[in-house]
Amino acid sequence: MTTVLKLGGSVITDKDRAETVDGESLERAAAAIADAVSDSTETDGGLVVVHGGGSFGHPAADAHGVTTTAGTDDAGAVTEIHAAMTALNGFVRRALLERGVEALPVYPLSLAARNREGDLALPTESVETMLEEGFVPVVQGDMVTHAGRGATVVSGDELVAELARGLDADRVGLCSTVPGVLDDERVVDRIDSLADVESVLGGSESTDVTGGMRGKVETLLGLETPASIFGLEGLEGFLAGEDVGTTVG
Amino acid sequence: MTTVLKLGGSVITDKDRAETVDGESLERAAAAIADAVSDSTETDGGLVVVHGGGSFGHPAADAHGVTTTAGTDDAGAVTEIHAAMTALNGFVRRALLERGVEALPVYPLSLAARNREGDLALPTESVETMLEEGFVPVVQGDMVTHAGRGATVVSGDELVAELARGLDADRVGLCSTVPGVLDDERVVDRIDSLADVESVLGGSESTDVTGGMRGKVETLLGLETPASIFGLEGLEGFLAGEDVGTTVG
């Protein structure tokens, strides 16, 4: 049972203060992961943690005008955005290491690249060997080099999708700031197609640079792997194999 | 013309003081690289810089008893050794960035892995795209996960060999603390086989954990790519396409 878990950038950082971790939420997420890994019935095929940018990656990316499609040739700018994400990656890994989770960093800038069409090549040898050896890879949203455009942003959501495919994962979970996809205040249990929830998700105006809820649902619908969207209160249940939040696809 | 250049750890660090850069040598190397990149006749197919550990990686690796074959399952230990190398990588990139070289980091821990036989898988998509986009990848000696052994050391020399193969490089250069392979005080111009220089290189007692001069020559003899071993004073000439130091293979 290989699980790919994304911790949303908004969940583990304070989105209103630049480069500030939401310590309480990060501790809570790390504790749930540590419990699941030490119990290991649900995660014995390995757990990959992916995290977004929150108040670390986004301000730096905005300052340099880079997105998933608008690139830069300036290595100083790439380095600055990458370093902001690496700092957050360090906080996530430290919280996990302190709880006995053998977390190792994975930086997509070193690993992945986009071709001219923007498709991501993400070789999985390193992550697979980490999993086989009992480590927990912690993969960050990052910059990647992009044929013809210098370097562009790669979002946590995109990494989740590529890793789920590349590792043939059994489960995908997106831990978000909301308890699932919401219809008014009620969590939608299950989404099988985008048409089902068009009215709930709204149009493209609700997407941000690295994909809002609509983008997440679209990405997850494109996967073979069953996926869930849930809030921090659902993380423990998800890692225990329960259906939590909204199940997609 | 794709060139893989290794800056020896002993060249750019003060081997006698833990985690100390040899600022003068690093500046000199960075200046030579910046000149070559801005001139670009010899490096227009791209330049990959690889660096060893020197006083950064080796003490941390020794403290945890890890080598290229003796591994660890302790993510804290892996992280500590990796972080020491990453710090040196930052110094190298900063020296290059300050001179207008668009240097980006490449961390083998994120990218590569060893199988049970110890063979290194090093996917090249990221480095190739960096080169195509005009960046200069700066690859560090590092830790990599190793099937059955947790994580082990990967040396700069091994990375040079794998990159030369994977990128089908045209030239390889090892910038060392000596002006080439020495026979007494004379630089040996050319080595075609290990037997030629058995008396000069001595036996296995002259090798260190990540390969002394004997290991370097053996590695370079195994490559299709022409290679040179030279000192810092030869770097400018090497990058200008000249034969400097000892030519191997």
pLDDT on residue A203 = 55
Is B52 annotated as a binding-site member? no
- Per-residue confidence band for B207, with pLDDT thresholds at 50, 70 and 90: very low
Q: What is the mean pLDDT of chain A?
A: 93
Residues of chain A positioned with their CB less than 8 A from the CB of B79: 93, 97, 104-105
- Model pLDDT for residues B29-69, shown as the tens digit of each residue: 999 999 999 886 666 779 999 999 999 999 999 999 999 99
pLDDT on residue A209 = 45
Query: CB distance from B129 to chain A under 8 Å?
Result: yes
Q: Does the pLDDT of residue B72 top 70, yes or no?
A: yes
**Domain count for chain A:** 1
Query: CB distance from B78 to chain A under 8 Å?
Result: yes
> A163 or B201: whose pLDDT is higher?
A163
Domain span including residue A29 = 3-248
Task: Tell me the mean pLDDT in the region B142-165.
Answer: 98
CB contact under 8 A, A102 and B74: yes
Portion of chain A with pLDDT greater than 90, in percent: 84
Instruction: Calculate how close chain B gets to A6, using CA atoms only, in Å.
Output: 18
* H or E element that contains B128: helix B125-132
Is B203 annotated as a binding-site member? no
CB contact under 8 A, A111 and B126: yes
> B178 or B198: whose pLDDT is higher?
B178
Q: Does the pLDDT of residue A119 top 70, yes or no?
A: yes
Residue whose token pair is 């020491």: B84
- Model pLDDT for residues B114-137, shown as the tens digit of each residue: 999 999 999 999 999 999 999 999
pLDDT on residue B203 = 55
Query: CB distance from B214 to chain A under 8 Å?
Result: no
Binding-site residues of A sit at 6-10, 53-54, 58, 156, 212, 216
CB contact under 8 A, B109 and A104: yes
Interface contacts (A, B; CB < 8 Å): 130
pLDDT on residue B138 = 98
Point out the least confidently predicted range of A90-104, A203-217, B158-172.
Answer: A203-217
Instruction: Classify residue B70 as exposed, middle or buried by CB count within 10 Å of its CB (0-12, 13-18, 19+).
Output: middle
Beta bridge partners of A113: A121, A145
- Per-residue confidence band for B211, with pLDDT thresholds at 50, 70 and 90: low
Beta strands in chain B, from DSSP E residues, in sequence order:
3-7, 47-51, 103-106, 113-114, 120-121, 136-140, 142-146, 150-154, 171-176, 182-183, 186-187, 190-191, 227-231, 246-248
Query: CB distance from B117 to chain A under 8 Å?
Result: no
Point out the least confidently predicted range of A113-122, B63-72, B166-175, B213-222.
Answer: B213-222
- Per-residue confidence band for A184, with pLDDT thresholds at 50, 70 and 90: confident
Query: CB distance from B33 to chain A under 8 Å?
Result: no
pLDDT on residue B195 = 87
For residue B100 the two structure tokens come to: 């207008």
Q: What is the mean pLDDT of chain B?
A: 93
pLDDT on residue A208 = 47
- Per-residue confidence band for B202, with pLDDT thresholds at 50, 70 and 90: low
Of B105, B132, B147, the CB nearest to A132: B147
Residue of B nearest to A122 (CA): B125
Q: Does the pLDDT of residue A142 top 90, yes or no?
A: yes
Residues of chain B positioned with their CB less than 8 A from the CB of A114: 129
Point out the least confidently predicted range of A42-51, A52-61, A105-114, A138-147.
Answer: A42-51
Angstrom distance (rounded) from CA B38 to CA B35? 5
Contacts of A248 (CB under 8 A, 6+ apart): A190, A191, A217, A220, A221, A226, A227, A228, A229
Task: Tell me the mean pLDDT in the region B209-235.
Answer: 88
Q: Does the pLDDT of residue A234 top 60, yes or no?
A: yes
Q: Identify the DSSP state of B199.
A: H
Angstrom distance (rounded) from CA A60 to CA B217? 44
Say which CATH number the domain at B115 has.
3.40.1160.10
Instruction: Calculate how close chain B gets to A115, using CA atoms only, in Å.
Output: 8
CB contact under 8 A, A107 and B112: no
Buried b (16+ CB within 10 A) or exposed e, A186-209: ebbeebeeeeebeebbeeeeebeb
> B207 or A31: whose pLDDT is higher?
A31
Which ipTM value was assigned to this complex?
0.94
The percent helix, strand, coil of chain B (3-state, each to 5) is 40, 20, 35
B225 touches B243 (CB < 8 A): no
